[in-house]
């Protein structure tokens, strides 16, 4: 009997031992720290030699930095998106430009030197290079004009552009930063006792942290001590030149003087007569006439002297459409603006012309700028503003009412570089559109002003009013139209023999009648509608008013404008 029990006991002991071993293995597997290491190339999504991940603030972004000959570069799109959008590349002329408030700094693509007003400077490394049609900029060159911090590591570069208070802590004991919270999560790297880490997110047992070399992962809370808030030290090395400007004493009241030839200058007296409150006249003198930055001129120094005698400032208008419309010439605005030689020639020559004529300013009216020309147009504005600033000329810029489809006109940048930003608050429904409606309803005007003052200092904003409307004729599916000027409206209504009705929706008197198979509709501009728009402008504290155009107004409306300017 005894002999039979012993084998049974041995079997039981063996089962217990094996079970213990299995249980120990299970417990060890479950509760011991995992040793699997993460693939850092995969973690940083680095796929090519010389490519580095960018850790911007506290996140890895999709863009990459590049190492060439041991130094760091960023592609131009990354620079524009995260660091500084002022850098401008002209691939045709192989130039990299940076235009601030007082000058344009230039460098030839691929070269190590740049030129500013003080002369030539050598960066010891190429300031830029081109690869696969992408332009890359030297990180240290970008720092000459940008307050940011960067530091390069093996697979990543830390970039900081914002500084605030951050929460930090020390590591108490050597441990590992893991991809996720959990002891089995793959290891990103070992973190040693005494290292300082930034706390990004605190959880019950784990903490999301960023190490000093920008490894973002998780450590256990028990390995953290001395948690505290720290002020980050901001980079303030670069001090940009100030954008100084010229402003009128009080509100602007500008009248555009449409001049179609040299003889048009002789109409100055008749245009000014009765224009009460007007303090700026803008003759339409200059228009692009070739693709090399040339322009035709109807300008007259005598006109300027005569206008001054009326107490007016003179801002000569430069446009991109009148010469083309007059002659049928194909003027390519993209070609003019995207070519640095032609663009800078235009900025130089128009500002020189303004000085030679004794003008007070330039009014830029470019209405044919396409989305593909947007970046070049903005560079032109920067360069023209430098010329105007150095020569004491007021720079005003005309714009459509802002919508998402014309954002490339960049009202925010205009508000920085220009003295006045003019919104042409009309052509909500325009001549030839086949879409009957108001030229400038009150909501259309109000929305344009609201959007503009959200991007431009209100004191720089000038809203332009139409001294005209459109008579719409609808016959079946056909829609035709004709202009009706403010000073002809009263006689027109009398001829029609119908009484207009005030429309609260558009803020205008509305007139509709039928004649045979035709229906006519007019949303009338008159003293009442103009006054309603001025009330909106007053509510937004904008810098003034402009009118298109002189010769179309009435004494009643000019009296209202005078009161607005003097208010």
Confidence of residue 28 (pLDDT cuts 50, 70, 90): very low
Phi-psi map region of 132: left, alpha, beta (phi>0 left; psi -120 to 50 alpha): left
Helix (H), strand (E) at residue 531: helix 527-539
Architecture of 42-156 per CATH?
A: 2-Layer Sandwich (3.30)
Instruction: Please check whether residue 382 is in contact with residue 417, taking contact to mean a CB–CB distance below 8 angstroms.
Output: yes
What kind and span of H or E run contains 41?
Answer: helix 40-44
For residue 31, pLDDT over 70 is answered with no
Q: What DSSP state is assigned to residue 38?
A: P
For residues 361-370, give the mean pLDDT.
Answer: 98
**Which residue reads 């925010």 in tokens?**
412
Say if residue 17 is preceded by a cis peptide, omega within 30 of 0.
no
403-446 tens-digit pLDDT: 999 999 999 999 999 999 999 999 999 999 999 999 999 999 99
| Domain 163-231: homologous superfamily in CATH | SH3 Domains (2.30.30.40)
User: In what helix (H) or strand (E) does residue 66 lie, and over which residues does it extend?
Assistant: strand 59-68
pLDDT of residue 15: 72
Distances (CA, A) of 254 to 276, 287, 436, 503, 544: 11, 19, 29, 28, 8
* Cα–Cα distance measured from residue 46 to residue 67, given in angstroms and rounded to the nearest whole number: 12
Is residue 22 classed exposed, middle or buried when 0-12, 13-18 and 19+ CB atoms within 10 A define those classes? exposed
What is the per-residue pLDDT for 5? Answer: 74
Which residues in the chain are classed under CATH 3.30.457.10?
42-156
Nearest to 138 by CA among 115, 154, 155, 122: 122
Other residues' Cβ atoms within 10 Å of the Cβ of residue 234:
12
pLDDT for residue 389: 98
pLDDT at 227: 97
Which part of the chain is CATH 3.20.20.80?
A: 252-467+525-566
pLDDT at residue 269 greater than cutoff 50: yes
Contacts of 180 (CB under 8 A, 6+ apart): 217, 218
Is the pLDDT confidence value at 506 over 70? yes
Contact between 521 and 438 (Cβ < 8 Å): no
Q: Please state, in angstroms and rounded to a whole number, the distance separating the CA atoms of residues 561 and 258.
A: 20
Residue 70 has pLDDT above 70, yes or no: yes
The first and second tokens of residue 215, run together, are 């490894």
Cα–Cα nearest to 490, from 481, 500, 505: 500
Q: Is the pLDDT of residue 549 over 70?
A: yes
Please give the model's pTM, rounded to 2 decimal places: 0.94
Decide: 96 and 88 in contact? Cβ < 8 Å: yes
Q: Are 372 and 334 in contact (CB under 8 A)?
A: yes
Q: State the sign of the Cα–Cα–Cα–Cα dihedral 372, 384, 464, 329.
A: negative
Tens-place pLDDT, residues 113-125: 999 999 999 999 9
C-alpha distances in Å from residue 562, one per residue of 156, 254, 279, 286, 467: 63, 11, 10, 28, 15
SS3 186: coil
What is the pLDDT averaged over residues 381-404?
Answer: 98
| pLDDT value of residue 17 | 61
Nearest-angstrom CA–CA distance, 491 and 470 = 15
Residues 318 and 286 sit within 8 Å (Cβ to Cβ)? yes
> Is CATH 3.40.50.720 correct for 252-467+525-566?
no
pLDDT at 27: 47
Return residue ranges of the chain for CATH 2.30.30.40.
Answer: 163-231
Are 339 and 93 spatial neighbours (Cβ–Cβ below 8 Å)? Answer: yes
The Cα 224–Cα 216 span in angstroms is 15
pLDDT of 110 strictly over 50: yes
Instruction: Name the DSSP letter for residue 37.
Output: B
Q: Which of 26-35, 189-198, 279-288, 310-319 has the lowest mean pLDDT?
A: 26-35
pLDDT at 19: 59
Mean pLDDT for 35-56 is: 96
pLDDT at 416: 98
Average model confidence (pLDDT) across the chain: 96
Give the Cα separation of 506 and 246 in Å (integer): 35
Question: In this structure, how many other beta carbons lie within 10 angstroms of the beta carbon of residue 90?
Answer: 18
DSSP state of 144: T
Query: Nearest 10 degrees: CA dihedral of 527, 529, 531, 537?
Result: -150
- Nearest CA-CA partner of 377 in 394, 388, 365, 391: 365
Query: What is the SS3 assignment for 181?
Result: coil
Residue 98 has pLDDT above 50, yes or no: yes
**Residue 228 pLDDT > 90, yes or no?**
yes
The side-by-side arrangement of strands in the sheet containing 175-178 is: 187-191, 175-178, 216-220, 206-210, 196-202, 165-171, 224-231
Q: Which two structure tokens, joined as six digits, stand for 485?
A: 């000027």
């Amino acid at each position: 009997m005894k002999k039979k029990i012993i084998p049974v006991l041995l079997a039981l002991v063996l089962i217990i031992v094996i079970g213990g071993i299995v249980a120990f293995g299970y417990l060890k597997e479950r509760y011991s720290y995992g040793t699997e290491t993460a693939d850092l190339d995969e973690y940083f999504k680095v796929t090519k030699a010389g490519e580095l991940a960018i850790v911007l603030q506290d996140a890895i972004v999709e863009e990459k930095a590049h190492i060439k000959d041991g130094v760091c570069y960023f592609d131009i799109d990354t620079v524009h998106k995260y660091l500084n959008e002022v850098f401008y590349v002209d691939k045709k002329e192989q130039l990299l430009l940076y235009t601030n408030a007082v000058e344009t700094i230039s460098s030839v693509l691929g070269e190590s030197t740049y030129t500013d007003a003080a002369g030539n400077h050598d960066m010891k490394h190429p300031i830029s290079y081109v690869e696969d049609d992408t332009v890359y900029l030297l990180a240290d060159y970008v720092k000459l004009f940008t307050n940011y911090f960067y530091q390069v590591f093996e697979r990543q570069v830390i970039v900081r552009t914002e500084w605030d208070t951050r929460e930090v802590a020390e590591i108490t004991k050597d441990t590992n930063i893991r991809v996720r919270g959990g002891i089995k999560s793959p290891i990103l790297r070992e973190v040693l006792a005494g290292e300082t880490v930034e706390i990004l997110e605190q959880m019950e047992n784990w903490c999301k942290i960023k190490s000093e070399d920008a490894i973002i992962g998780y450590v256990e809370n028990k390995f953290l001590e001395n948690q505290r808030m720290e002020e980050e030290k901001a980079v303030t090395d670069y001090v940009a030149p100030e954008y100084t400007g010229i402003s009128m004493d009080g509100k602007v009241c500008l009248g555009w003087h449409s001049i179609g030839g040299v003889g048009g200058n002789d109409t100055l007296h008749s245009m000014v007569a009765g224009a009460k409150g007007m303090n700026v006249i803008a003759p339409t003198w200059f228009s692009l006439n070739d693709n090399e930055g040339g322009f035709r001129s109807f300008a007259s120094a005598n006109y300027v002297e005569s206008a001054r005698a009326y107490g007016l400032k003179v801002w000569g208008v430069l446009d991109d459409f009148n010469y083309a419309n007059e002659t049928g010439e194909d003027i390519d605005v993209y070609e003019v603006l995207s070519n640095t030689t032609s663009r800078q020639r235009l900025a130089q020559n128009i500002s020189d012309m303004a000085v030679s004529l004794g003008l007070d300013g330039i009014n830029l009216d470019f209405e044919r700028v396409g989305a593909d020309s947007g970046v070049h147009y903005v560079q032109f504005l920067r360069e023209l503003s430098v010329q105007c600033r150095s020569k004491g000329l007021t720079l005003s810029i005309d714009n459509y009412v802002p919508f998402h489809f014309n954002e490339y006109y960049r009202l925010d940048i205009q508000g920085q570089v220009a003295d006045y930003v003019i919104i042409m608050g009309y052509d909500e429904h325009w001549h030839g559109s086949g879409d009957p409606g108001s030229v400038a309803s009150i909501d259309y005007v109000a929305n344009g002003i609201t959007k503009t003052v959200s991007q431009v200092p209100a004191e720089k904003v000038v809203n332009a009013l139409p001294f005209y409307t459109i008579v719409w004729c609808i016959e079946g599916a056909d829609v035709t139209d004709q202009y009706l000027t403010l000073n002809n409206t009263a006689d027109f209504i009398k001829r029609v023999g119908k009484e207009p009705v005030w429309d609260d929706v558009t803020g205008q008197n509305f007139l509709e009648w039928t004649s045979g198979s035709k229906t006519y509709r007019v949303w009338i501009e008159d003293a009442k509608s103009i006054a309603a728009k001025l009330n909106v402008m007053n509510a937004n504290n904008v810098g003034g008013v402009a009118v298109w155009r002189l010769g179309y107004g009435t004494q009643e409306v000019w009296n209202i404008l005078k009161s607005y300017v003097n208010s």
